[in-house]
Amino acid sequence: MRDNQIQEAMAILSEAVRKWPTPAVTIVATQDHDPFKVLVSCILSLRTRDQTTAEASARLFGLADTPERLSRLSVARIEEAIYPVGFYRVKAEQILEIARQLTEEHAGRVPSELDELLKFKGVGRKTANLVLTLGFGKAGICVDIHVHRICNRWGYVVTRTPEQTETALRKKLPSEYWIVINDLLVGFGQNQCTPVSPRCSSCPLYQLCDRVRVGKAR
C-alpha cells in the first residue's frame, strides 16, 4: 500500500466495519465516557474474547464503578466478578492496585498523560493509548496485534514490534486517523484480515494490499 492510498483504505474500512461487532472497550467508552472504565475494561480485554470482556466489565462495574469503590473490594471478589477473562487472578490484583493508587495518589482520577499512565502496573503502551484516545479524546495511536500485523501486511509500514509500528505510524499516518485506526483494524483483523488464512478473496482492500508474508489465504 502506497502512502497516498491510506485515505482510500480508511474510507473503505469505515464502511466495511459496520457489519461487524463493535469492540467491547469501545462500547464501554461510548456508553460512559469514563477513563477509569476504559482503563479497567482494556486490562480485562487482553487475551480475552470481546463478549467475555463485555460481560466481565458489566459484572465488575455493577459492584464498583469508581476507583474509590473498587479499592474497597477484595481480590477474591474481583476475581469472582471478572472470571473467566484470561489471567483473571493476575488482572484482579492489577486492577485493585490501580484503583488504590488512583484513590490515594490521584484523587480518584485517571491521569490524562501517557507517561503517568505507563507507571501503573500492567499498563503498557497499547492500554495507555487506548485510555487517552477513547477515555479522553486525546491524540494517540493504539497499536495492538491487529494494527501491527495488518499495517505490515499492507506494506504501509515495515516494523518488527508494535512499539516500532506506533512510532512509524506517528510519522506517516494522517492525524485524523490516529484515534480511529485501532477500532477499524480490530474489527477488520478479527473478521476479515485474520492472522492465519485471511479472507483475501472477499477483502474490500485486496487491490490496495501488498499481502506481505501472506501464505495460505481464503
User: What pLDDT, in 10s, does the model give residues 66-77?
Assistant: 999 999 999 999
Give me 206's grid cell: 485486496
DSSP sequence for 103-164: HHHSTT----SHHHHTTSTT--HHHHHHIIIIIH--S-----HHHHHHHHHHTS---SSHHH
> How do residues 7-42 score in pLDDT, each as one tens digit?
999 999 999 999 998 999 999 999 988 999 999 999
Residues of the chain with pLDDT under 50: none
- Please say if 91 is a catalytic residue: no
pTM above 0.85, yes or no: yes
Catalytic residue from among 37, 50, 91, 126? 126
Catalytic residue from among 65, 144, 172, 216? 144
pLDDT at 152: 98
Q: 132-143 burial, b if ≥16 CB within 10 A, otherwise e?
A: bbbbbeeebbbb
Give me 121's grid cell: 502496573
- Please say if 65 is a catalytic residue: no
Complete domains list, the chain, with CATH:
3-21+141-208 (1.10.1670.10), 33-136 (1.10.340.30)
